[in-house]
Amino acid sequence: MTILSFINIKFFRLNLVGLTSLPNGKFVLSMMLTILSSTSHAAEYQTIEKNKMLNAFDQFVVSETAAKNCLLPSQEEFSKFDANFDVVSNFAFLEMSQQFPYIQQQKISETLALKARALSLRTEHKIKARGCQDPAIQAILQRYQMQARWEPAIGF
């Protein structure tokens, strides 16, 4: 993964909240939800093992969004989670690069960022509809804490 690709993913992760405040934010939101739903249907036709890191990337995006909306993690927990998310993001990028070697790295980076935006917006919508105390949201928050404690050297 190039440093530019990594910076793009990091930038989009940090700026998810500002998307809906854009003048055409609702249009962008509907486009992202369409992309997300089509990518989730496409994923049903692929094996989990083939997309292991992309699935992990999705889970990290969802749990990060839930934590930002429902938790006040300590700085240590946030730092550990962020470092682990960086590892997963790098491997997700590599996985996509291997699956689609004919696509430019910049496009892969943009695709991951778009996917992260869509997943984050979908998660925020669920939180607003159900609340942080919903059992499904609580399960996501528990996953955030496990992902923060995860030791990448040990593996998945």
Each residue's pLDDT tens digit, 106-126: 999 999 999 999 999 999 999
Q: Which conformational region is residue 155 in: left (phi greater than 0), alpha (psi within -120 to 50 degrees), or beta?
A: left
pTM over 0.85: no
- Residue 38, domain member (yes or no): yes
Q: What is the reported pLDDT for 3?
A: 47
Least confident of 57-66, 99-108, 111-120: 99-108
Task: Give the DSSP H/E element, type plus range, for residue 137.
Answer: helix 135-149
Domain assignment present for 125 = yes
Let me know if residue 33 belongs to a domain.
yes
Per the structure, the complete domain to which residue 72 belongs is given by 3-9+24-149
Residue 83: C-alpha distances to residues 10, 24, 77 (Å) = 11, 33, 10
Average pLDDT of the chain to the nearest whole number: 78
123 and 62 Cβ atoms separated by less than 8 Å: yes
Name the domain count of the chain.
1
Average pLDDT over residues 132-156: 88
pLDDT higher than 90, residue 142: yes
